[in-house]
Structure 1
Amino acid sequence: MLYPPNSADKLGFTEIKELIKTHCLSVMGQQMVDKIGVMTNYDQVVKFLNQANEFKNILQNDDALPINHFYDIKSLANKARIEGAFLSEEEFFQVQASLTTVFGVIAYFNERVGVYPNLEALFEHLPIEKAIIRKIDQVIDPKGKIRHNASRELLEITSGIAKAEQEARRKIDQIFKNAAANNWTADGSLTIRDGRLCIPMLAENKRKVKGFVHDESASGQTVYLEPEEVFTLNNRIRDLEFDRRREIIKIFTALTDELRPYVPLLLSYHGLLTKLDFVRAKALFAIDIEAEMPKVVNEAKLKLFNARHPLLYLNFKKEQKTVVPLNMSIDDGTRIIVVSGPNAGGKSVCMKTVGLLQMMVQAGLLIPASADSVAGVFKQLFVDIGDDQSIESDLSTYSAHLSKMKNFVENANGKTMVLIDEFGTGTDPQFGGPIAEAVLEALNHKKVRGMVTTHYSNLKIFASNTEGIENASMLFNNTEMQPLYMLEVGKPGSSYAFEIAQKIGLPQNVLNLARNKISAGQKKVDSLLVDLEREKKEIIDTKQKLNKQQQRVNTLLAENEELKTFLDENRKNLIREAKQEAKDIILNANRLVENTIAEIKSSNADKEVTKALRDTLNVEVKKNTIKAEQPKTVVKVDEEIKPGDWVKLIDSDTTGQVMEVIKDNVVLAMGELRTVVKKKRVEKVSRSAVPKEQRRSSNVSTGDIASFSPEIDVRGMRTEDALHAIEKLFDRALMMGYGNLKILHGKGDGILRKMIRQYLKKYEQVDRMEDEHPDRGGDGITYVYLK
């Protein structure tokens, strides 16, 4: 139940329906959109939401549905139902095109059985009766025209017309040439008059050729004459055309009689087309507003994450602005939210967003909010927004509000959502405040859910002391005197009346006079609220910075953990290989010694043989002896250290390659490890002084650079996810010394492109940003050049 009846207009739901109608392909679809209303049956709500979500998935991720034609075949079927009636050539073509669409859609879903169950339910058990199309195809061609061979009689008549027209044309051409040769004709060529082909003759020569004058020029000097012989032929053509018309009616009547038994099936096909057009329009609108399907529960609750007002989103999208997202929750613990804060701070928009999105969910429409949002089903939706005073009903503004409050208190229950804007206004605040507080207490006693906006301090105090009611405020930057349009649940907000008045330019003496007229207690409360908001804003900013830093720390920890795992695995492999190699050497040595002793014995210790065997043994010993490497001389170079140079830590023998120089620090690559040290702790060495193995390892590690791609595709990602991914890529590019990045963000409305560029401008390492060449993507791709 929706009260009052004009609540849909107040919340903007009527505008939503008009926007959906623009996506419909047929009048039937538009009529179905007009019937959209708030449903209270949980199963129905879920079914309609799933249908829209599945169609949205098809439009974004699957092959296109074969939807080309939508015609009102219901009216055609009802016409064909009448005995003796027949469909026209155009009407048969509409039936043919519509059925082609229907059968194409059914075949599309038959190829994807189980993938879109809610859409499949639209045509469940609906047969594909191709006999209808075959019968029409025998008469109507693909262009929607009757076939010349639709019947033997029609073919003969059509051939007769063609021959007679050819003969008439030949005859009139012959007469025209003869008259022109005798200079009887006026300037010009053969022309049509009264549907007849005529010869333009000079008026003085009109008696030279027998025939019928159909017209004359304005000056009377030229007459348009149809020769007598041609007149007879044209009459014959006219008679044949009448015969053709009668034969076509006969064919269409017979074809309509054949289709009459299929009328009920045609009506079912019409229903499917209408529903498809309707669901398709809802899905296209959902894509326009970047809507998602929330989790739906059969309870009276609502939890919104990153929610946006759809109409505000579309307006801002045209102006390339972004809407501040709304996060709020109404459940058993927090039933009613009392929103306070400055004028023009967004209180009403916040409340309208809540009401409109709840209406959209219960109307089966996807909403512009995170898919993690939770939406319940309310049995009643009561709205008090705007001024409903009525001269006819003798209702003042406040009387109209009280009339609604009476209805709310009497009829609301635990499954009712109540939305009240500027609660208690319209009368003396001294009395309006207590009445509003009493109404709020009565609604809370009935476990009603909802949101109200107010400036009354007594309502803020009541909310802070009452279970089930929660204060909330619209944040305000009291330094710049600008609203932030962010809802903060948990504390009331100041109206900033004096601050806004001062910004507007109200004289200071007037402001001082006003301050002196309010009580000291009220001053203290308002100042406290202002200070609380300022502190809250500072906490939020600090929290955002900490979250960002934490994300970077987590990334570095993950990379370090990965590096540690890699080094541990390498160490184990090296030890395993070394042990195996040592074992092989020992076995070979034992075998060689035993063979040498045996040969010495067999030669009776012959000196020559023994010497030769000893030489062989020494050769093998030298082969398996590890030579101690001579320490390589470190060549000190006084040149400035730059990226790519090799350096050695002064207090150890560790060497590494410089990846980046940042003021007094250098970023070193030592194998897979990256570290930052002070310039004064390293000294430059020549490349030849670095062991080959380390250079090779560095090349492998810079293979990390080679394998690293300075290109990222963020199309289809949410703004926060895209910025996080770009930040990660940016950090790695800086660490590896890359000069530029390529970001694929797509064109769309340019919002993602704008947000990315604004985000990257804050980094001093960014030199400039440019669009890709128009032939290769244009402003759908951004190149970022680093200093």
Structure 2
Amino acid sequence: MNNKALKVLEFDKIKAEIAKYLITTRGKTLLKKLMPMSVESIVQRLIDQTKDGADIIRIKGEIPVRKLADLHDEANRLKKDGNLNGTELAAIGQVLKNTSELKEFFEDLKDDQVDLRQLYHLNDDLIDNPKLTKLLARSLDETGRVLDTASEDLKYIRNHIGKLNDQIRQTMNQFTRGKNTKYLTEPIVTLRDDRFVIPVKTEYKTRFGGVVHDQSASGQTLYVEPQAVVGLNNQLHEAQVSERSEENRILNNLSNLVRPEINEIVKNNEVLAQFDLINAKAKYAKEIKATEPIISDDHTVDLYNAKHPLIDPDKVVANDIKMGNGYKTMLITGPNTGGKTITMKTLGLIQLMAQAGLFIPAREESEVAVFDEVFVDIGDEQSIEQNLSTFSSHMDNIINIIHKVSEHSLVLIDELGAGTDPQEGAAIAIAILEKLSVSKCYIMATTHYPELKIYAYNAPDTINASMEFDDESLKPTYRLLIGIPGASNAFNIVARLGMDRSVVDRGQALMDGESQDLNNMIADLEDRRKEFEQKNDQLKIQLDKNKGVQKEYEKKRDDLDKSKNSEIQASKVRANQIVAKAKKESDKIIDQLHKMQRDGVAVKEDQIIAAKTGLKNLHQDDSVKKNRVLRRNKRRQQLKVGDHVKSLQYDQIGTIVRKDKNDQFEVQLGILKMKFAADELEKVKNVEPEPEKKPTMVKRTKSSGLSSKLDLRGKRYEEAMSELDSYIDSALLAGYNQVTIVHGFGTGVIRKGVTNYLRRNPRVKSFGYAPASSGGSGATIVDL
């Protein structure tokens, strides 16, 4: 996009708002380079990235990017065989650490089945280096200070320095307490030349022996290193030299380890900067309540409730702006300060934002086109250097536009033809529009010339538009009216402001007939528009009522269909039960006859008749009889407290002891009480009473053979979940009140599975991650 359009439409102010949300140095550099793109695939990719960022902000809060430095200077020094200091290596460590964090973050999003369009692919560009990451984290803190854990030698040296410091301070304290304080100007221990000294009065400089390192400005105080600590200070100095030497060795070693990996680390930093910029774009979209722009298939612009993003949201007026569907040129007319220029800037800026991959301040489902260029001629840009008038400056700009415009360009011209004689200005304006129209570009222009209103009415692919004006309040409403030209409203304004009526009448009489007819036509169109809007509002109300009635009807129809299907299904179940029982009875009768035949027993006539009668009774043709059987079978299977039932799930027989308000039956199965639905139980008859047993004392004790901790690390998901289920059952039977499940960190799959299982298990009272000293989020403590 040309710089003039970016400047006039104030695209840099949008970038300044986005910059408030950036935290990385490279992210700020990328924002400076952010420009509207003219290739549709690139624009869609940038929009998809912002959409992913907005989804992550909604679900997770934000993408966890750290405050990172630009590593190009460090990379150049390493490539020239130079070494880095602690601060520079710590900055590299932060990039590596953030890389690992983002890798894990996006793996968790995948586990949670969060759909993203682009950012999973962008995350794949990050190259993790866990070994180097851990080494830098163990060696340096975030400020670049070398840690004791960087090497055993450094740890030993610093421990030795600590002991020497303690010895020196203990010795020095002898001089700052008791009777020795009278020889000091102050009873303190301080440092001079990295050595511990005391402030001694000048007249007592030989009192403590040792070395004088400094004196005060007045000459009344000497800073003396007492002879008693000279040897200790010498040892301390040597230890400090050894410390610096070991630190330099560690930093040089780390530099050598980072050197071969620096290209990948710099690439990681660039990807992290992209995530930072995506985060910032998404946060800005949330702040201004922007929505995802849709790239239209037919190169049209269709914006709903579009607002200028740089105007106070409590004051800005939203407008529907449409171009490309039936017309490519829009001429906006109306009174001054009515909002014509702001409407034009709103269209231009929203297009720039969308083509830069930003969300737009418009209602959802708004469509944008992808223009190869946006040309603007807005504002008074008189050129003093070129000695051009306002009119000449505008014409010079428009001539440049005419030479560069294409059918995929958007041209925005404010006050077309203004700055010269009105009749000539209108003529040249029409000629310019005709010339631009040859290229089939998209044009939005503002004007006051009535001739251009007539031109827009007659020219193909051209439409009139205006900014609404309230005649009652004499104030603009800033609403864009497409299809209706605007009037200047000069006579109405001056009349309502108190101008003498004779002056108003004389002014109207001086207008030529064509202009008068045009204003009358505009007034008539405005009246018709208001009438249409009123009727349209009434139709919308009626339509909403009709939709409500239709929705209620469809709901009742769906409920009826569900009820019918439910009855059919229930009938099928009951029929299947009857058939199964009939088959069971018939098989029993036939088996008895076969047995009698095999045993050589003569089958008597009355037995044969009885068997035939039994088989015949199984066949129920009469509907009344069938219904009676169904009712009797239903009564027989109806469950109540005290019935003996069989659990179909566990194949165990128990007794119903209670029925709750949710129609669940509580069944005593041995020593356990469990709840079942009616279809999970089968009524049984003639349960043989159990032989009387001696009373048995059952005491629940904690099993000495069961550990209070279950380790699932290294297990496959299915194996881990099976072990977890068995372990919880065992822990309950063992009487444990609390157990620990160790699942580690890993990819998070096992941890998520453990959480889901514990949330579903009714025997689990509560659970949460272990304290940091006991594994942190790598283990979960469960209260049973």
Task: Give TM class, smaller chain.
Answer: 0.5 to 0.7
Distance in 2 between the 1:96 and 1:466 partners? 66
Distance in 2 between the 1:441 and 1:259 partners? 64
Cα displacement string for residues 50-100 of structure 1 (whole angstroms, at most 9, x for unaligned residues): 1011111110134643323322233323332231x2222222222222211
Distance in 2 between the 1:570 and 1:20 partners? 56
Cα displacement string for residues 348-401 of structure 1 (whole angstroms, at most 9, x for unaligned residues): 111111111111111221111123122121122211111222121122111112
> In the alignment, what sits opposite 1:57?
55
Is the 8 Å Cα contact of residues 196 and 233 (structure 2) preserved in structure 1? no
Is the 8 Å Cα contact of residues 65 and 272 (structure 2) preserved in structure 1? no
In the alignment, structure 1 residue 333 sits paired with structure 2 residue 331? no
> In the alignment, what sits opposite 1:166?
166
Instruction: Give, in angstroms, the shift of residue 199 of structure 1.
Output: 2.8
SS in 2 for 1:112: helix
Distance 1:323 1:246, change over 3 A: same
Letter of the aligned partner of 2:472 in structure 1?
Answer: T
Distance 1:572 1:400, change over 3 A: closer
Distance in 1 between the 2:358 and 2:504 partners? 49
In terms of mean alpha carbon deviation, does 210-219 or 561-570 score higher?
A: 561-570
In the alignment, structure 1 residue 270 sits paired with structure 2 residue 269? yes
Distance in 1 between the 2:71 and 2:245 partners? 25
Instruction: Give, in angstroms, the shift of residue 324 of structure 1.
Output: 2.2
Distance in 2 between the 1:516 and 1:87 partners? 86
Is the 8 Å Cα contact of residues 4 and 376 (structure 2) preserved in structure 1? no
Letter of the aligned partner of 1:309 in structure 2?
Answer: H
Distance in 1 between the 2:7 and 2:377 partners? 12
Is the 8 Å Cα contact of residues 74 and 270 (structure 1) preserved in structure 2? no
> In the alignment, what sits opposite 2:478?
485
Distance in 2 between the 1:564 and 1:209 partners? 106
Instruction: Give, in angstroms, the shift of residue 505 of structure 1.
Output: 5.9
Distance in 1 between the 2:70 and 2:483 partners? 55
Instruction: Give, in angstroms, the shift of residue 141 of structure 1.
Output: 4.6
> In the alignment, what sits opposite 1:441?
434
Distance 1:273 1:367, change over 3 A: same
Instruction: Give, in angstroms, the shift of residue 126 of structure 1.
Output: 4.0
Distance in 1 between the 2:148 and 2:562 partners? 82
Letter of the aligned partner of 1:257 in structure 2?
Answer: N
Aligned residue runs from structure 1 range 281-320, under 5 A: 281-297=280-296, 299-312=298-311, 315-316=312-313
In terms of mean alpha carbon deviation, does 453-462 or 397-406 score higher?
A: 397-406
Distance in 2 between the 1:568 and 1:185 partners? 102
Is the 8 Å Cα contact of residues 299 and 377 (structure 1) preserved in structure 2? no
Distance in 1 between the 2:526 and 2:278 partners? 45
Distance in 2 between the 1:572 and 1:279 partners? 51
Is the 8 Å Cα contact of residues 48 and 364 (structure 1) preserved in structure 2? yes
> In the alignment, what sits opposite 1:101?
98
Is the 8 Å Cα contact of residues 23 and 68 (structure 2) preserved in structure 1? yes
CA RMSD of aligned residues (A): 3.0
Cα displacement string for residues 675-730 of structure 1 (whole angstroms, at most 9, x for unaligned residues): xxxxxxxxxxxxxxxxxxxxxxxxxxxxxxxxxxxxxxxxxxxxxxxxxxxxxxxx
> In the alignment, what sits opposite 1:13?
11
Distance in 2 between the 1:538 and 1:480 partners? 20
Q: Residue 459 of structure 1: which of 425, 447, 452 is its match?
A: 452
Is the 8 Å Cα contact of residues 468 and 479 (structure 2) preserved in structure 1? yes
In terms of mean alpha carbon deviation, does 275-284 or 141-150 score higher?
A: 141-150
Is the 8 Å Cα contact of residues 463 and 469 (structure 1) preserved in structure 2? yes
Letter of the aligned partner of 1:34 in structure 2?
Answer: K
Distance in 1 between the 2:561 and 2:264 partners? 72
Is the 8 Å Cα contact of residues 176 and 187 (structure 2) preserved in structure 1? no
Instruction: Give, in angstroms, the shift of residue 263 of structure 1.
Output: 1.5
Distance 1:61 1:124, change over 3 A: same
Q: Residue 348 of structure 1: which of 341, 344, 347 is its match?
A: 341
> In the alignment, what sits opposite 1:580?
none
Q: Residue 34 of structure 2: which of 27, 33, 36 is its match?
A: 36
Instruction: Give, in angstroms, the shift of residue 275 of structure 1.
Output: 1.0
Cα displacement string for residues 258-277 of structure 1 (whole angstroms, at most 9, x for unaligned residues): 12111121122112111111
Cα displacement string for residues 162-219 of structure 1 (whole angstroms, at most 9, x for unaligned residues): 22212211111123335437x3334543344555443344444333222344455666
Aligned residue runs from structure 1 range 219-234, under 5 A: 222-234=221-233
Aligned residue runs from structure 1 range 87-98, under 5 A: 87-98=84-95
Distance 1:417 1:479, change over 3 A: same
Distance 1:364 1:557, change over 3 A: closer
Is the 8 Å Cα contact of residues 339 and 474 (structure 1) preserved in structure 2? yes
Instruction: Give, in angstroms, the shift of residue 297 of structure 1.
Output: 3.4
SS in 2 for 1:471: strand
Letter of the aligned partner of 1:403 in structure 2?
Answer: D
Letter of the aligned partner of 1:304 in structure 2?
Answer: L
SS in 2 for 1:392: coil
Cα displacement string for residues 428-475 of structure 1 (whole angstroms, at most 9, x for unaligned residues): 001000110111122223322121111111110010111100111111
Letter of the aligned partner of 1:72 in structure 2?
Answer: D
Q: How many residues align?
A: 565
Aligned residue runs from structure 1 range 722-733, under 5 A: none
Unaligned runs of 5+ in 1: 575-787
Aligned residue runs from structure 1 range 704-719, under 5 A: none
Letter of the aligned partner of 1:112 in structure 2?
Answer: L
> In the alignment, what sits opposite 1:154?
154
Distance 1:170 1:306, change over 3 A: same
Distance 1:141 1:399, change over 3 A: closer
Distance in 1 between the 2:243 and 2:25 partners? 34
Instruction: Give, in angstroms, the shift of residue 566 of structure 1.
Output: 8.1
Letter of the aligned partner of 1:88 in structure 2?
Answer: N
Distance in 2 between the 1:557 and 1:449 partners? 42
Distance 1:363 1:571, change over 3 A: closer
Distance in 2 between the 1:106 and 1:397 partners? 58
SS in 2 for 1:310: coil
Aligned residue runs from structure 1 range 487-636, under 5 A: 487-502=480-495, 511-541=504-534, 543-544=536-537, 546-548=539-541, 550-552=543-545, 554-555=547-548, 558-559=551-552
Distance in 2 between the 1:554 and 1:249 partners? 78
In the alignment, structure 1 residue 363 sits paired with structure 2 residue 368? no
Letter of the aligned partner of 1:109 in structure 2?
Answer: F
Distance 1:410 1:185, change over 3 A: closer
In terms of mean alpha carbon deviation, does 504-513 or 435-444 score higher?
A: 504-513
Is the 8 Å Cα contact of residues 69 and 98 (structure 1) preserved in structure 2? no
In the alignment, structure 1 residue 130 sits paired with structure 2 residue 144? no
Is the 8 Å Cα contact of residues 149 and 155 (structure 1) preserved in structure 2? yes
SS in 1 for 2:139: coil
Instruction: Give, in angstroms, the shift of residue 340 of structure 1.
Output: 0.8
Instruction: Give, in angstroms, the shift of residue 221 of structure 1.
Output: 5.0
Distance in 2 between the 1:405 and 1:476 partners? 30
Is the 8 Å Cα contact of residues 340 and 473 (structure 1) preserved in structure 2? yes
Distance 1:569 1:168, change over 3 A: closer
SS in 1 for 2:177: helix
Instruction: Give, in angstroms, the shift of residue 489 of structure 1.
Output: 1.0
Letter of the aligned partner of 1:244 in structure 2?
Answer: E
SS in 1 for 2:299: coil
So what's the TM-score if we normalise by structure 1? 0.67
Letter of the aligned partner of 1:395 in structure 2?
Answer: L
Distance in 2 between the 1:393 and 1:572 partners? 85
Distance in 1 between the 2:143 and 2:562 partners? 72
In the alignment, structure 1 residue 391 sits paired with structure 2 residue 384? yes
SS in 2 for 1:255: helix
> In the alignment, what sits opposite 1:703?
none
Is the 8 Å Cα contact of residues 294 and 370 (structure 1) preserved in structure 2? no
In the alignment, structure 1 residue 235 sits paired with structure 2 residue 234? yes
SS in 1 for 2:174: helix
Is the 8 Å Cα contact of residues 328 and 441 (structure 2) preserved in structure 1? yes
SS in 1 for 2:525: helix
Distance 1:34 1:122, change over 3 A: same
Distance in 1 between the 2:563 and 2:212 partners? 108
SS in 2 for 1:455: coil
Unaligned runs of 5+ in 2: 568-784
Letter of the aligned partner of 1:421 in structure 2?
Answer: D
Letter of the aligned partner of 2:38 in structure 1?
Answer: T
Distance 1:259 1:220, change over 3 A: closer
